[in-house]
């Protein structure tokens, strides 16, 4: 027992219930603990690790809820058998690395990003601006960007990714105490950013075609300064706004002193067409399109459009900061957008992401789990016990993101969601979906485990 406790201790990052549960789960994943192995009594673990019995008991509860350990009659608490059907996969994964399949990141599959060599090798001359006051947007890129922009905007700005655009726009246009409406669930870095700006954030729920109109209408008397939405492949739900919802939302907001900030972070990998409220209320819209998912997160490029009244303060905020996005990178993006092979590659990447998502979503539906969204890299899976589901998948080498950080308010109770980046599942979609389905129903902690 001492050796076993030491092996758990070696894997312990934090002396908390969650930390201990993760340490046990790591020991199971690297086969230090095997199905059927007995766990030491709670009191003994508490003594040896200098933790309180309550903390150890909470860790055991979490592991039991995730189906990782179970009460085994007189043998006490033992490591649960690996789930049927998933065992081979789990063993296969175990050989690779502690997290063999990381579906927690929300990033694109590097194998589906365009090749850079043809474009880079065409960049033979240096790209020095003649002055620091040159137009920060290259004409050749502006021409490419406007080709499939969803509406006729006054002008465009090129920035260092959608996060940079959100940072600049919120800094330039919002004041502490302003009311800002966001999608709930929403993108955690945006929620952090808004908190940092000192604004009042209220979440509005989404359905399969976008933001709830009733929710927005009910908040209009409180005079929101901004509404932030993701028009396509919403992270985390994968919802794309329908043209009807966009038109009705525009009609609702028209004439209010309220900016609509659209974060089209899925951009060109989306299977739905570009869409913006700018088609109806261009004077109130800042539309951001990121090229991170389609052309690579490390290009750090997004474009931002809007009326002069909204773009001018953003331009000013940028001018007193780093000034412009590297012209070298702008030329790379312009080259990629011009290249027909690259455009075809991006369209097939979008189709491949859709195929991966559909395989997983279809299998989850066979398990009785409904997933609403239809676009982007992620799916939003309802689970009975969020912490247990994350832990269960982790013990099988699969990392997913717990749903609670995406929620505007703190949720009570264990049930919730996990966000799974299906865009990164290259093979064995059905097996992975089976494991996700099992994790979604994990959480049956009953008196018999105590």
Ligand X SMILES: Cc1ncc(COP(=O)(O)O)c(C=O)c1O
Q: Which stretch binds ligand X (CB under 6 A): 133-141, 155-163, 249-257, 326-334?
A: 155-163
Q: Shortest approach of ligand X to residue 16 CB, angstroms?
A: 28
CB closer to ligand X, 216 vs 261: 261
Q: Which stretch binds ligand X (CB under 6 A): 61-69, 156-164, 315-323, 350-358?
A: 156-164
Q: Does 422 bind ligand X (CB under 6 A)?
A: no
Q: How far apart are the first and last CA of the chain?
A: 20
CB closer to ligand X, 161 vs 443: 161
Total chain residues near ligand X (CB under 6 A)? 13
Q: How many CA atoms lie within 13 A of 176 on its CB side?
A: 3
Q: Shortest approach of ligand X to residue 91 CB, angstroms?
A: 32
Q: Shortest approach of ligand X to residue 160 CB, angstroms?
A: 8
Per-residue interface string for the shown chain with ligand X, residues 229-248, x marking contact by CB under 6 A: -x----x-------------
Q: Does 290 bind ligand X (CB under 6 A)?
A: yes
Q: Among residues 117, 170, 61, which one has the least CA distance to residue 414?
A: 61
CB closer to ligand X, 82 vs 290: 290
Q: Among residues 186, 229, 239, which one has the least CA distance to residue 375?
A: 239
Q: Shortest approach of ligand X to residue 60 CB, angstroms?
A: 35
Q: Looking only at residues 250 through 279 of this chain, which bind ligand X when binding is defined by CB under 6 A?
A: 263, 265
Q: Among residues 237, 342, 358, 352, which one has the least CA distance to residue 291?
A: 342
CB closer to ligand X, 161 vs 278: 161
Q: Shortest approach of ligand X to residue 264 CB, angstroms?
A: 9
Q: Shortest approach of ligand X to residue 288 CB, angstroms?
A: 8
- Can you tell me which of 86, 161, 238, 268 binds ligand X, judged by CB under 6 A? 161
- Can you tell me which of 60, 89, 187, 445 binds ligand X, judged by CB under 6 A? 187
Q: Which residue is nearest to ligand X (CB)?
A: 161
Q: Does 292 bind ligand X (CB under 6 A)?
A: yes
Q: Does 297 bind ligand X (CB under 6 A)?
A: yes
- Max CA pair span of the chain: 80
CB closer to ligand X, 162 vs 204: 162
Q: Looking only at residues 14 through 53 of this chain, which bind ligand X when binding is defined by CB under 6 A?
A: none
Q: Shortest approach of ligand X to residue 190 CB, angstroms?
A: 6
Per-residue interface string for the shown chain with ligand X, residues 304-343, x marking contact by CB under 6 A: ----------------------------------------
CB closer to ligand X, 12 vs 116: 116
Q: Does 216 bind ligand X (CB under 6 A)?
A: no
The encoded tokens of residue 404 equal: 């609670």
> What φ, ψ does residue 138 adopt, rounded to 5°?
-70, 135
How many whole angstroms separate alpha carbon 58 and alpha carbon 376?
Answer: 36
CB closer to ligand X, 56 vs 301: 301
Q: Shortest approach of ligand X to residue 266 CB, angstroms?
A: 7
CB closer to ligand X, 25 vs 235: 235
- Can you tell me which of 40, 67, 86, 106 binds ligand X, judged by CB under 6 A? 106
Q: Does 163 bind ligand X (CB under 6 A)?
A: yes
CB closer to ligand X, 276 vs 292: 292
CB closer to ligand X, 67 vs 150: 150
CB closer to ligand X, 263 vs 386: 263
What is the 3-class SS of the chain, one letter each residue? CHHHHHHHHHCCCCCCHHHHHHHHHHHHHCCCCCCCCECCCHHHHHHHHCCCHHHHHHHHHHHHHCCCEEECHHHCEEECCCCCCCHHHHHHHHCCCCCCEECCCCCCCHHHCCCCHHHHHCCCCCCCCCCCCCCCCCHHHHHHHHHCCCCCCCEEEEECCHHHHHHHHHHHHCCCCCEEEEEECCCHHHHHHHHHHCCEEEEEEEECCEECHHHHHHHHHHCCCEEEECCCCCCCCCCCCCHHHHHHHHHHHCCCCCEEEEEECCHHHCCCCCCCHHHCCHHHEEEEEECHHHHCHHHCCEEEEECHHHHHHHHHHHHCCCCCCCHHHHHHHHHHHHCHHHHHHHHHHHHHHHHHHHHHHHHHHHCCCCCCCCCCCCEEEEECCHHHHHHHHHHCCEECEECHHHCCCCCCCCCEEEEECHHHCCCCHHHHHHHHHHHHCCCCCCHHHC
Interface with ligand X (CB under 6 A)? 106, 161-163, 187, 230, 235, 263, 265, 290, 292, 297, 302
């Amino acid at each position: 027992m001492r050796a076993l406790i030491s092996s758990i201790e070696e894997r312990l990052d934090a002396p908390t219930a969650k930390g201990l549960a993760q340490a046990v789960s790591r020991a199971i994943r690297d086969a230090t603990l095997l199905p059927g192995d007995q766990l030491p009594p709670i009191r003994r673990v508490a003594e040896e690790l200098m933790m309180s019995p309550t903390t150890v008991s909470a860790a055991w509860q979490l592991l039991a809820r995730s189906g990782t350990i179970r009460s085994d009659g007189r043998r006490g608490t033992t490591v649960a058998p690996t789930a049927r059907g998933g065992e081979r996969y789990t063993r296969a994964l175990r050989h690779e690395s502690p997290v063999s399949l990381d579906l927690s990141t929300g990033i694109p599959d590097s194998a589906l990003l365009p090749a850079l060599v043809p474009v880079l090798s065409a960049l033979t001359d240096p790209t020095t601006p003649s002055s620091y006051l040159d137009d920060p947007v290259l004409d050749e890129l502006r021409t490419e960007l406007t080709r499939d922009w969803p509406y006729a905007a006054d002008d465009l700005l090129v920035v260092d990714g959608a996060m940079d655009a959100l940072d600049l726009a919120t800094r330039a246009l919002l004041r502490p105490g302003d009311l800002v409406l966001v999608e709930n669930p929403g993108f955690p870095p945006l929620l952090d950013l808004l908190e940092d700006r000192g604004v009042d954030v209220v979440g509005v729920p989404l359905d399969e075609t976008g933001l709830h109109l009733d929710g927005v209408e009910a908040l209009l008397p409180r005079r929101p300064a901004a509404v932030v939405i993701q028009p396509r492949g919403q992270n985390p739900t994968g919802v794309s706004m329908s043209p009807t919802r966009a038109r009705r939302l525009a009609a609702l907001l028209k004439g209010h002193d309220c900016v609509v900030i659209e974060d089209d972070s899925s951009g060109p990998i989306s299977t739905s067409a570009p869409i913006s409220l700018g088609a109806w209320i261009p004077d109130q819209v800042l539309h951001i399109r990121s090229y991170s998912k389609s052309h690579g997160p490390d290009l750090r490029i997004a474009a931002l459009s809007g009326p002069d009244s909204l773009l001018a303060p953003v331009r000013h905020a940028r001018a007193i900061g780093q000034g412009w996005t590297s012209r070298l990178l702008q030329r790379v993006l312009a080259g990629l957008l011009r290249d027909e092979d690259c455009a075809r590659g991006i369209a097939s990447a979008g189709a491949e992401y859709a195929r991966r998502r559909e395989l997983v979503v279809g299998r989850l539906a066979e398990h009785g789990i409904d997933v609403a969204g239809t676009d982007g890299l992620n799916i939003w899976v309802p689970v009975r016990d969020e912490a247990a589901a994350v832990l269960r998948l982790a013990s099988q080498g699969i990392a997913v993101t717990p749903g609670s950080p995406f929620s505007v308010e703190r949720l009570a109770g264990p049930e919730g969601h996990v966000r799974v980046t299906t865009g990164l599942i290259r093979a064995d979609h059905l097996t992975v979906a089976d494991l996700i389905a099992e994790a979604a129903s994990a959480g049956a902690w009953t008196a018999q485990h105590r």
